[in-house]
Structure 1
Amino acid sequence: MADPADIRRAWDVEALRGLWTRARAAVEAEETTFRLELPDDAARQAVGDLYGRPMWGEGTRISVPKLDAALRASPFGVGLREALELLHGRPLGGARPTAAPARSADPLAEQLAAHGLDGAGWAGPWIDWVHRYGRISRSELPALARDAAAVLAELTSDRVVSRAELAALTGDPHALDTGTALSRVVFKAASLALGDQRPRRDLWASWGVVRNAASAGAVCWALPLVGADPWSRGVRERAELGLPAHLSLLDLRAAPDRLVEPGTAIAVCEHPRLVEAVLGERIGHPVVRATGPLASALLSRLAADGAELHVHGDFDWPGVAAVARLVERTGARPWRMAAADYREALDRAAARRTDLGTLVGDPVRTPWDPDLAGLMADTGRAIDEEMVLPSLLADLRS
């Protein structure tokens, strides 16, 4: 070990004394993180230099394993326990800091297993992330593990729910509000499961979570509902007034078991501009906008009734990916989404000297027409659904 006198000269300074006091308490309590106050610039500078990252504001959360690793990587090469015993002049109680608690006794692993989620591909990386970066103390971990596993089990059930309904599983209606510890760790699980870093709202939606049960989500026009009940009559009356129906989660839950007759043809689009144009012309063909978890739930209901869904989207990678998911999940038929349709749209744009966007992201397979993905990758240009609106409207008129 380095000369104790050198260690004391470097680390036994006023700017670091708060760090050592809080670190000792955390180690002796066998906690993996602790909250550290940073009262002035001197403390922020000293702690940041030692810990290995800049410090801002009046406080931060410190990871015990990371602090231990930072001290071992320093020129003195001592661990956290050794440093604390040297600086304070007395031995420590408690266990030695480790990167993470033993998996067999880990509350996170136990709770995931209790809900059948321990085999998910994201489970292991998520547990490691919570311990290392989740800013959850040992005393808080059991309750958070219980609540997080309950929420995650509901998220993976393929049922559309509101965020408030998820929070109600924990007994706290605000448990999933932005900024809470539970929201933070559940959001991380979603990002690991979906393999991307989409905005928080998009990740919630991808797992079937709506902001609340009352806000509208599924937009539809002229659905030929078969029911004689007040709900069905109300939706039909919207169309009679020349208005679309904006269905919330509460609407879908109040809907009758059967919506339409088998074989009913329904157009499915990506952009509201098509719905607006259909309304403007009072075209009687039913249309549903396929965006968000409520629209997905509605389309699944319609497909279960035997409706024939004809789906169109943007000619870009997210657009064709959305079409592919709907085809796989509901048996929908791609509508004007072939390579020939894409080529026709490109030629029309060139003739009109229309600027086209660049395709962004990784290519997506188009099983209904493999030539489409290849042609899109070769040309590298995106075609927005609005650009082919005349062709889509002509189909709907006929």
Structure 2
Amino acid sequence: MPTALLKGAFSRGTLLSEWGRSDVGVEDDVRAVWGVEPLRGLWAQARDALEAAKPPETFRLELPDAETQRAVGELYGRPMWGQGTRISVSKLDEAVRRSRFALGLAEVLEILHERPLVRRQTAERDERRERTAGTLRAALAERGLATAAWAEPWTQWLQQYGRVGDDELPDVARRAAKALSALALAEPPEAWTSRSELAASVGGAHQLDNGTALSRVVLKAAALAHGAETPGNERERRALWERCGVTLDAVSATVLCWALPLVGSDDWSRGVRQRTALGLPTHLTHLDLRAAPSALVEAGTTIAVCENPRVLESAVEERIAHPVVCVSGHPTTVAVTLLQRLTDCGATLHYHGDFDWPGIGITRSLLTHHNARPWRMSAADYREALDQATATRTDLPNLVGTPLETPWDPQLAELMATTARAIEEEAVLPTLLSDLRTGLSTSST
């Protein structure tokens, strides 16, 4: 960082008295243009940098949404992508000086925050950080969460990027810990709740709406717990909530089905069967399942479960009568609910997914929680698909992520880790469709 910038930040004591108060109109303009929500994180981090005992050359800034990316990019002078970036303090100073206000970074911060810059002493900074950490750890300990693997990274994130004021922290920490104790953070959810019900349990039906501080800190903990990226848009937030067993509503999440042999004589069952007769799949919502009869299929019914919608689509196109349920990636709460309803009726599930680590994780979950049988998910099936790709000169994507064990066939995980190639369901589609035509059995797994 340029020495002049540091000297300018602290040599005059307070710029508000020597400069800022001389032109109230300019101050108001600065606040109107730059005192907006998408830029608050930038200004807070910039102040932390200038006031640090040892000011850094750069600081990391989180970009939680498209609006923040746009606003920071326009100010800083380059496009912003992804969930975060590093900001050069000197370049930020240059950027604000090039603006129509022609002010330095220190002057802008004093106007926006209405207080002078004061360099913190290391001891004071460490004391505040420890006080914050103590508040968070106590809240987590009260809910039995203090020893969770994600707890310490979450605490560090909240200290640096949480944007929660000292006066708000105890209440936010307490509410967040209570909400987190109700989420599925280690295992797939066994029960589900709506976001509004969860919010009401921690203080109000809108406490967890998008944009609230509580929603932001709870989702960050959930992302850390599941090893996922911090959600940056509504689709990603919805997927993370559902992964934790929380539904945002009863109509938007769906599970895709084809040719379910429903046994009911009621209008609901007839309606689903009519769609099959017309050659149409059915998207079931939570509301649909609430309206469905308790008995869906006969005991012993064999149902294929796939990860990729292309498998189900192909079965529909060829009018293959075998029932198929598609989870479309990580199962949503409504998908898990349907699978549980089917197994409760005595149906047998056969699951096939992508040969990648997320696909293996889904397979493990369905085998563990729904007694599903692996369908073409053995080491021999993986080897056959590799050989087929080689014969047809098909490029396979690299296998990335954290390896997982495959208890149903330990050699599969070893072979996948050795070859380091992922195989998507579409690559083995002809084999899967052949199985569906002839009917799944133990011999086809």
Task: Please report the TM-score for the alignment, with normalisation by the length of structure 2.
Answer: 0.67
Q: From the superposition, tell whether residues 44 and 213 of structure 1 become closer, same or farther in structure 2 (CA, over 3 Å).
A: closer
SS in 1 for 2:254: strand
Runs of 5+ in structure 1 lacking a partner? 1-6, 19-34, 81-95
Higher mean C-alpha deviation, range 44-53 or range 329-338: 44-53
Cα drift, residue 302 of structure 1: 1.6
**What's the counterpart of residue 282 of structure 1?**
319
Q: 1:136 to 1:321 in 2, by over 3 A?
A: same
Distance in 2 separating the partners of 1:135 and 1:354: 48
Of 377, 385, 388, 2:428 maps to 388
Pick the aligned partner of 1:100 from 120, 131, 134.
Answer: 131
**For 2:199 and 2:341, how far apart are their aligned partners in 1?**
26
CA distance in 2, matches of 1:317, 1:98: 37
How do 1:238-249 residues align onto structure 2 when only pairs under 5 Å count? 238-249=275-286
Native 8 Å contact 1:218 1:246 kept in 2: yes
- 2:28 aligns with none
Q: Give the AA of the match of 1:109.
A: A
RMSD over aligned Cα, in angstroms?
4.0
Question: Are positions 1:254 and 2:291 aligned together?
Answer: yes
Q: Distance in 1 between matches of 2:36 and 2:377?
A: 57
Task: Find 1:368's aligned residue among 393, 399, 408.
Answer: 408
Residue of structure 1 in register with 2:13 after alignment: 13
Which 5+ residue runs of structure 2 have no aligned equivalent?
1-6, 19-34, 60-86, 97-107, 439-445
1:33-112 aligned at under 5 Å gives the runs: 48-51=49-52, 52=55, 53=59, 71-73=120-122, 79=124, 97=128, 99-100=130-131, 103=134, 106=135, 109-110=138-139
Give yes or no for contact 1:317–1:362 (8 Å, CA) kept in 2.
Answer: yes
8 Å CA contact retained: 1:99, 1:132: no
1:342 match: secondary structure: helix
Which residue in 2 is equivalent to 1:316? Answer: 356
Show the counterpart of 2:225.
193
Q: Deviations over 1:348-391 (max 9, x none)?
A: 12221112111112222111111111222222222110111111
Report how far residue 334 of structure 1 moved.
Answer: 0.5
Q: Is the 8 A contact 1:242 1:279 kept in 2?
A: yes
Question: In the alignment, which residue of structure 1 is the partner of 2:84?
Answer: none
Shift in Å, 1:345: 1.3
Deviates more, 1:283-292 or 1:200-209: 200-209
User: Are 1:108 and 1:142, in contact at CA under 8 Å, matched by a contact in 2?
Assistant: no
Kept after mapping to 2: 8 A contact 1:100/1:128: no
Instruction: Using the aligned pairs only, state the percent identity.
Output: 51
Cα separation, partners in 2 of 1:47 and 1:271, compared to 1, 3 Å: closer
CA, structure 1 residues 345+9, in 2 after alignment: closer, same or farther (shift >3 Å)?
Answer: closer
SS at match of 1:357: coil
Preserved CA contact (<8 Å) 1:226 1:261: yes
Q: Which moved more, 1:151-160 or 1:263-272?
A: 151-160
Amino acid of the structure 1 residue aligned with 2:321: G
Q: Given the alignment of the two structures, is residue 346 of structure 1 paired with residue 375 of structure 2, yes or no?
A: no
Alignment length (residue pairs)? 349
Aligned to 1:148: 176
Q: Tell me, in whole angstroms, the C-alpha distance in 2 between the residues paired with 1:275 and 1:42.
A: 50
Tell me the residue number matched to 1:180: 212
